[in-house]
Structure 1
Amino acid sequence: MTDYTIGRAAEELGVTARTLRHWDEIGLLSPGWRTTTGDYRLYTDADLDRGLDILIYRRAGVPLRDIADLLTEPGSRRDRLLTQRELLVQRIGHLHRMVRAVDSILEGDTVTMQDKKAIFGEDFPHHQAEAEERWGDTEDWAHARDAMTAMAADDFRRVKAETGAFAGALVAARDRGVAPGSVEADALVERHAMLVATFYPCSRAKQIILARMYAADDRYAGYTGDAADYLVELVEAKARAEGVDPETVTWG
C-alpha cells in the first residue's frame, strides 16, 4: 500500500491541495491513514480511487452534495463505473446539443415557442410555466432550462418521438404481462431514466417520484400511454433490487 501526503495526492489527482482540504471538510474524501506519530494524515490508494470517482462525477456535472450519496449507494466499483459512464455519455450528448444550438443560431435557425407548441402541443407554455413555478428554484430546473436552450428543433422532435416510442413499448410490455424485475422490465426502466436525463440527472428516487406523478395526473398520459401505474411498478421493483426503499424516497 502506498501512502500519499496531501501535496502528492493533489498532484496524482490533478487538483489543488485546497480542493482536497475542502473535500475533507465536507466529509467527501478524508485521508485514511496517519503516521505512527499521529502528526500527519496520509491518503491511501483507496482514497485516491475515491478521489478519481469524485472527479469523474464532477466532470459529468454532478453537484458535490450529490456525489457522497452516489459513492455510498450499494454496488461494486464496476456498478459505480457504469453509472459514471452513463453520466458522461449524457454530458457528451448535452455538449453536442449545445454545439448544434450555437450552429442553429449562427444559421438563423432558432427554436421559437411556436415551434415548441407545434411539436409538444398548445399546452406546452402552460406546462412549462407550472413546472417553473414548482421547481424554478432547484438545480434540476436549471439543468432542464439549459438543456432546452441548447436544443435545436430537431432535438425537440427527437425527444417527442422517443417519448412516444417508449410509451408504446411500455403499453405493449404491460399487455404481454412482462413482470416487474425482469430483464425486459428493467430495460424499460433504464430507457425511461435516459429520457428524463435528457433534461436533468435522474436518480432512481427521482424516477419513482416522477412515475407516481404521471400516475396521479392524466396530463402526463403522453409519457406512458395508459400504463403509468405499470411504470410505477417497474421502477419500484428495480429500486428495491438496488437497495432503494420506494417508501422513503425524496427528491434530491
Structure 2
Amino acid sequence: MTDHHIGEAADILHVTTRTLRHWDQIGLLVPTRRTWSDHRLYTDDDLERALQILVYRAAGLPLREIRELLDAPVDAAAKLRRQREVLVDRIGHLHRMVRAVDELLEGGDTMSMDEKVELFGGDWPGYREEARERWGGTPEWEQSQAVGASMSRADWEEVKREQDEFVALLADAADRRVEPGSAEAAAIVEKHRASIGRFYAVSREKQVLLARMYTQDQRFDATYRGHSAYLLALIEAQAEEEGVDPADVQWR
C-alpha cells in the first residue's frame, strides 16, 4: 500500500490541497495516517473514498449529504448502486436541459417569453402560471417580460451559461466554507445580483427577500444544488455590511 502526501493526492485527484484540507476539517475525508510532524498521508483506500466524493460532488450533492451516504453502514455494492441512482437522475436532468437549449435554438426569436420560461423551467410543473399569478402586473414583472422578449438566442445561451457558472461557483464556495462578509463572499453576492439585474433593477433589500424565497421553495433550492440557505447567509451578511438591517427589509 502506497502513502501519498497531500500534494501528491491532490495531483492524483485533480483537486486543490485546500479542498483536501477542508474535507479533512469537516470529517469527509480524514487521511488514515500522518507523519511524525503531523503531515497528512493518504492511503489507496483514502483515495478510493475521495473518488466516491468526486462522483457525488459532480452530481451536485452537498458535502453534508455525501458524508452521510459514504458513512452509511452498507456494503460497497449498495454504495455503488446509490451512486448509480444519483448519476442517472443527474444525467436525466442534464438531458432535459440539453433538449431545452436545442428547442430554444430551433425556435430562436420566434419563441415567446412564456415559451422560454417554460422551456428552462420544464421540471417545475405549473411554475409559469404560478409566477404570473404571484408577480404579474408588478413593475419588475413587466420589465423582465420586456427584456426577455427582446433577447436573442445568443442572449439566452449566455443566461444559461452564466447561471451554470454561478451555481458551480456557489457550490465551491460552500464546500470551502467561504466566510459571509468576506471579500470573496461579496463578489459572489454581487454576481448573483447582476444575474437578476439583467432583467430588472434589484436593490440589496430585494435581493435579501428573493434569497429568502429560495430557501422556502424546494425548486429554487434544487437549482442552487441545496445551497440556497448558504446563499442567503452571504447576501444577508453583505446587506449588514452596507448598513441594511436584514430584520427590516422591504421590496423597494
State TM-score, norm by structure 2: 0.53
Q: How does 1:60-75 map to 2 (within 5 A)?
A: none
Question: 2-side partners of 1:201 and 1:226: how far apart?
Answer: 26
Check whether the contact 1:135–1:141 (CA below 8 A) recurs between aligned residues: yes
The AA in structure 1 aligned to 2:218 is D
- Aligned: 1:214 with 2:196: no
Cα shift at 1:235? 0.4
Describe the SS at the equivalent of 1:181. Answer: coil
Over 3 Å counting, the alpha-carbon distance change for 1:124 and 1:159 in structure 2 is farther
> Mapping of 1:99-138 within 5 angstroms?
109-112=109-112, 117-118=118-119, 120-123=120-123, 126-138=126-138
Amino acid in structure 1 at the alignment position of 2:122 = E
Q: CA RMSD in A?
A: 2.0
Tell me how far apart the structure 1 counterparts of residues 116 and 133 of structure 2 sit (CA, whole Å).
Answer: 22
Q: Is the 8 A contact 1:171 1:227 kept in 2?
A: yes
1:115 to 1:199, Cα distance in 2 relative to 1, 3 A? closer
Q: Deviations over 1:157-185 (max 9, x none)?
A: 22122111101110110110110011110
The alpha carbon displacement at 1:209 in A equals 0.6
Alpha-carbon distance change, 109 to 229 in structure 1, aligned in 2, over 3 angstroms:
closer
- The within-5 A match list for 1:157-176 is 157-176=157-176
* Structure 1 residues 1-252: aligned runs within 5 Å: 109-112=109-112, 117-118=118-119, 120-123=120-123, 126-252=126-252
Provide the C-alpha distance between the structure 2 equivalents of 1:152 and 1:222, rounded to a whole number of angstroms: 27
Change (3 A) 1:236 1:109: closer
Q: Which runs of 5+ in 1 are unaligned?
A: 1-107
Q: Do the aligned partners of 2:121 and 2:127 also contact (CA within 8 Å) in 1?
A: no
Structure 1 residue 208: deviation in Å?
Answer: 0.4
Identity %: 42
1:165–1:122 distance in 2 versus 1, CA, 3 Å: same
What letter matches 2:187 in structure 1?
Answer: A
Give distance in 1, aligned partners of 2:147 and 2:124. 16
Which residue identity does 2:127 align to in structure 1?
H
Detail structure 1 runs of 4+ shifted over 4 Å in the superposition: 112-118
**CA shift digits 1:96-115 (9 cap, x unpaired):** xxxxxxxxxxxx84224555
Say whether the 8 Å CA contact 2:140–2:201 is kept in structure 1: yes
Q: In structure 1, the residue corresponding to 2:126 is in which secondary structure? A: helix
- Displacement after TM superposition at 1:232 (Å): 0.6
CA distance in structure 2 between the partners assigned to 1:238 and 1:109 by the alignment: 38
